[in-house]
Amino acid sequence: MAMHPVRKQRLVFVCFIIVFSTIAVGLLAYSLRENIDLFYPPSKIVAGEAPIDKQIRAGGCVIPGTIVRYENSLKKSFRVTDGAAQLQVSTEAILPDLFGEGESVVLTGKLNGDGEFVATKVFAKHDENYMPPEVADSMKGQVDHAKTCEGLDYGS
């Protein structure tokens, strides 16, 4: 029996939608898995929970007195903490304007075999009252007010 033309058109349309959306969902799942960067606080990285040589994000408060700028080089290094552990960071990226001692940062980069985090991007807060939520969260329980790095005891 010949199909009613309207029904046929509708069937073709529904098939098209199903095929198209299946491909789209498959691609989405694959692409998301490949392109997400997990955040690890320093204590987890030091404890060896973070993968080596894979792009991840890290962050914390920059420990005063640890910032080193190398001569005639783009390289800079510093240490960050979440109040529990310290992570050595080096980078050749431009440091943002609000980067400084005792300020919070979020880093994108890779952990090398020596336990040093090599950052390709360094983000600082863009407002005096703002702290990246990841950093704030990882500090809960370590400091009374997780709004800024001010309340942090750097163990000095």
Q: Does 3 bind another protein (CB under 8 A)?
A: no
Cα dihedral 85/70/106/145 (nearest 10): 50
Separation CA 59–CA 91 (nearest Å): 13
Q: How many CA atoms lie within 13 A of 127 on its CB side?
A: 5
Judged by CB under 8 A, which stretch of 18-26, 78-86, 111-119, 148-156 contacts another protein? 18-26
**Which residue matches tokens 């080193």?**
68
Closest approach, Cβ 73 to another protein, in A, equals 8
Applying CB under 8 A, among 1, 2, 128, 145 the residue interacting with another protein is 128
Comparing CB distances to another protein, the nearer of 58 and 63 is 58
Report d(CA 135, CA 94) in Å as an integer: 21
**Which of these ranges, 65-73, 77-85, 109-117, 148-156, lies near another protein under the rule CB under 8 A?**
65-73
Tell me the site size for another protein, rule CB under 8 A.
Answer: 41
C-alpha distances out from residue 71 to 91, 93, 109, Å? 14, 15, 23
Check binding of 97 to another protein (CB under 8 A): yes
* Residue in 7, 34, 113, 156 binding another protein, rule: CB under 8 A: 34
Residue 17 in contact with another protein, rule: CB under 8 A? yes
- Integer Cα distance of 75 and 91 in angstroms: 6
Tokens describing residue 37: 């960067």
Using CB under 8 A as the binding rule, whether residue 94 contacts another protein is answered as: yes
Instruction: Report the DSSP pairing between strands 104-111 and 56-62.
Output: antiparallel
> What is the contact surface with another protein in residues (CB under 8 A)?
5-6, 9, 17, 20-21, 24, 27-28, 31-32, 34-39, 55, 57, 69-74, 92-95, 97-98, 106, 126-130, 132-134, 137
